[in-house]
Chains A and B, each alone.
Chain A
């Protein structure tokens, strides 16, 4: 069964450094999402992406964040200058067609630790 993959599974970085989290959505999916989950807290929406542009973003998704689909398979989340409070689990999700009607498939997550 096709699945969403994410790399790396765990990333440790120093405050102020740039990180890129990578996701490979399911191949025929068209809508892509990033969510984050700070340890012990709820999962929060960051951004949605469709047709090579951001379709919606949350207030968390400030200028330090960017997303890109550099080729036909990868979907990346970049944090330009990491802060301690960026430490969280980051989930990528994708859906084939109209969101919500079709299930969002989540990847296994990338655990980001900022020291």
Chain B
């Protein structure tokens, strides 16, 4: 069975600083996709960034970047220059095709 593990339930970062959120997953598939979703208090699910497993290059979206280590099955999210609006629940998700399998999420707070 495919599982996604986010072992840190909470993290805090000072505004303008950098924070890294960890995620590991377990799969026997060779081709798959990994995602980070943001869920603010409104509970809307918002896609932050996506990584294709066949790509060696780490994905980047503005202040958000990932460190994808396929052999270690690790997929961490780095948020640079943290802003107050980044405060939310962040979910790591995995998909070989179709459905998404989510981790338990991590609550990120941003200190002004």
Taking Cβ atoms with an 8 Å cutoff, the residues of A that contact B are 31, 33, 35, 37, 41-45, 48, 55-56, 58, 89, 91, 93, 98-101, 103-104, 106, 108-109, 111
Contacts and interface: CB of A to CB of B under 8 A. Distances in A.
B91 A48 contact: no
5 contacts: A31-B98, A41-B104, A42-B103, A100-B33, A108-B42
Given A42-B91, A100-B95, A108 B43 contact: yes
Given A43-B100, A89-B43, A99-B97, 13 more contacts: A31-B98, A33-B99, A42-B91, A45-B100, A48-B98, A58-B99, A99-B98, A100-B32, A100-B96, A103-B50, A106-B44, A108-B44, A109-B44
A79 to B, nearest CB: 19
A106 B37 CA distance: 10
Contacts of B98: 31, 48, 55-56, 99-100
Contacts of A48: 98-99
| Chain B interface bracket (under 10, 10 to 19, 20 to 34, 35 or more) | 20 to 34
Contact of B91 (A33, A43, A58, A89): A43
Query: DSSP class of A's interface residues: helix, strand, loop or mixed?
Result: strand
B101 interface: yes
Interface string B42-68: 111111001000000000000000000
5 nearest A-B residue pairs (beta carbon): A106-B45, A99-B98, A45-B99, A43-B102, A100-B95
